[in-house]
């Protein structure tokens, strides 16, 4: 019987345990969207995770939606991330970069020449983003021209090339939480009439083209994807999510992706949100179609995580907030040590406080 604390193999990548550090936006990059010395310390402190998935990193300036998030599209950003991965590897860790484009969850403040954000359709998201002046409503987006979509796919592929240069062991496509990939998938936000809208097949076309492009850079077993089929954050919804995501995960499994990273229930909310979206069924379809492994995420504690791995409902478990407050989370879970409590007021404030100053356990 598998256990949470034993090694696991994703394709040819062996990880020392089945505990994953989830991608966590921390807003600590510099003005050039480059990881800093603080990021080197932060991630190295957590290198005992079986796999670290980096905070979401935009593939271009157009893909940014929040202040001080890192990118993966300039030489300085690549060099900054290389310093992080070198330090994590020296500490015995494994690291994956999450590739991000926020689409309409953005503001003109971040866009080149203060242009409108881009989206599948010109539908404003009922959501807010954080800019230097504080929280603001998302700007009205413009619909991507059909001819622009091929260039977007190339941007993802170039970001993957940059991730390889930066030394990441894997890459993860951010397809969750109402950002660009998710916007194309869902019929609420995608009302296109060309080959990228309408039917489920058409709405999947751009996300699958991106996946295929990423698999030309990294082997498919070194590519993962994060999805949130039941979630409705950032104004993301669909009229038939179970049918949509059942077909999507079948296609992803056929591509033999390294993992499917599933947010269970509502992101940062109830795990039983929208129970009609049968996540167990989606996991089975992905595995039966050829997908290699499943990472489960959202509100897991020690007992739940151990049980999920033991009964086979997940291969690995991703922890978010507990990893913020506990750099030595693996040891604390394995030995039943008490956990530090996270200070949510420091999640996005910048600086070392609440970032690199949480203590390791001392008996």
Write the pLDDT tens digit of every residue in 139-165.
Answer: 999 999 999 999 999 999 999 999 999
Write the pLDDT tens digit of every residue in 302-311.
Answer: 999 999 999 9
Q: Reply yes or no on whether 300 is catalytic.
A: no
Q: What percent of the chain has pLDDT over 90?
A: 94
Binning pLDDT at 50, 70 and 90, where does residue 216 land? very high
DSSP annotation of 264: P
Cα–Cα dist 55/172, whole Å: 11
Cα–Cα dist 71/58, whole Å: 5
pTM of model > 0.95: yes
Cα–Cα dist 84/319, whole Å: 20
99 CB-contact burial (10 Å; exposed 0-12 / middle 13-18 / buried 19+): buried
User: Inter-axis angle of helices 75-90 and 37-45, to 10 degrees?
Assistant: 30
- Give the tokens for residue 144: 């991507």
The domain limits of the chain are 8-346
Quote the pLDDT of residue 75: 98
Write the pLDDT tens digit of every residue in 234-270.
Answer: 999 999 999 999 999 999 999 999 999 999 999 888 8
User: Residue 120, SS3?
Assistant: coil
Mean pLDDT across 107-115: 97
DSSP annotation of 57: E
Strands 19-21 and 51-53: parallel
Query: 8-346: which CATH architecture?
Result: Alpha-Beta Barrel (3.20)
Q: List, as one string, the DSSP characters of 74-114.
A: SHHHHHHHHHHHHHHHHTT--EEEEEE--TTS--GGGSGGG
Q: Where are the alpha helices (DSSP H) in 193-254?
A: 200-214, 241-254
Residue with tokens 């954000």: 117
Catalytic residue among 42, 43, 156, 179: 179
Using alpha carbons, select from 207, 213, 202 the residue that is nearest to residue 180.
Answer: 207
Mean pLDDT across 46-60: 98
Q: How many other C-beta atoms can be found within 10 angstroms of the C-beta atom of residue 19?
A: 26
């Amino acid at each position: 019987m598998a256990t949470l604390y034993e090694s696991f193999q994703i394709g040819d990548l062996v990880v020392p345990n089945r505990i994953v550090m989830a991608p966590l936006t921390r807003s600590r990059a510099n003005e050039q969207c480059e990881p800093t010395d603080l990021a080197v310390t932060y991630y190295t402190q957590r290198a005992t995770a079986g796999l670290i998935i980096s905070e979401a990193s935009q593939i271009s300036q157009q893909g940014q939606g929040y202040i001080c998030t890192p990118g993966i599209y300039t030489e300085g950003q690549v060099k900054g991330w290389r310093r992080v991965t070198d330090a994590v590897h020296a500490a015995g860790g494994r690291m994956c970069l999450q590739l991000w484009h926020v689409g309409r969850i953005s503001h003109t403040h971040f866009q080149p020449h203060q242009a409108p954000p881009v989206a599948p359709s010109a539908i404003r998201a009922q959501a807010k983003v954080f800019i230097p002046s504080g929280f603001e409503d998302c700007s009205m987006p413009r619909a991507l021209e059909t001819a622009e979509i091929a260039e977007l796919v190339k941007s993802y592929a170039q970001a993957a090339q940059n991730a390889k240069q930066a030394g990441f062991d894997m890459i993860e496509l951010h397809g969750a939480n109402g950002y660009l990939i998710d916007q194309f998938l869902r019929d609420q936000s995608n009302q296109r009439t060309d080959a990228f809208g309408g039917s489920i097949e058409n709405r999947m076309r751009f996300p699958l083209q991106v996946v295929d492009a990423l698999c030309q850079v990294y082997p498919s077993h070194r590519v993962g994807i994060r999805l949130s089929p039941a979630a409705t954050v950032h104004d993301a919804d669909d009229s038939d999510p179970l049918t949509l995501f059942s077909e999507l995960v079948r296609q992803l499994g056929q591509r033999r992706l390294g993992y499917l990273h599933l947010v269970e229930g509502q992101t940062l909310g109830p795990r039983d949100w929208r129970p009609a979206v049968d996540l167990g069924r989606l996991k089975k379809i992905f595995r039966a179609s050829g997908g290699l492994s499943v990472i489960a995420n959202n509100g897991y504690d020690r007992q739940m995580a151990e049980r999920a791995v033991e009964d086979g409902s997940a291969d690995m478990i991703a922890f978010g907030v507990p990893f913020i407050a506990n750099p030595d989370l693996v040891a604390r879970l394995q030995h039943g040590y008490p956990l530090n409590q996270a200070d949510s007021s420091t999640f996005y404030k910048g600086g070392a406080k609440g970032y690199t100053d949480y203590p390791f356990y001392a008996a």
